[in-house]
Amino acid sequence: MAGFFNKFSEAVGDAFNKASDVAGDLTQTAKFKMEISKYNGEIKELEVKLGRDIVASRLKGATNESLFPSIDECMERIVFLKSEIERVEKQIADLKEDGGDVSKEAGAEASQEKPVEEMPVEEMVVEDISEKTE
Average pLDDT per consecutive 10 residues, the chain (134 residues; last block may be shorter): 71 71 81 95 94 90 85 93 96 82 42 43 45 47
The pLDDT score that the predictor gives to residue 121 is 40
The pLDDT score that the predictor gives to residue 6 is 73
Number of Cβ within 10 Å of residue 100's Cβ equals 18
The pLDDT score that the predictor gives to residue 1 is 62
Contacts of 65 (CB under 8 A, 6+ apart): 133
Query: Taking the alpha carbons of 117, 121, 122, 124 in that order, is the dihedral positive or negative?
Result: positive
Number of Cβ within 10 Å of residue 16's Cβ equals 10
Q: What is the pTM of this model?
A: 0.57
The pLDDT score that the predictor gives to residue 130 is 46
The pLDDT score that the predictor gives to residue 110 is 41
| Total residues belonging to the chain | 134
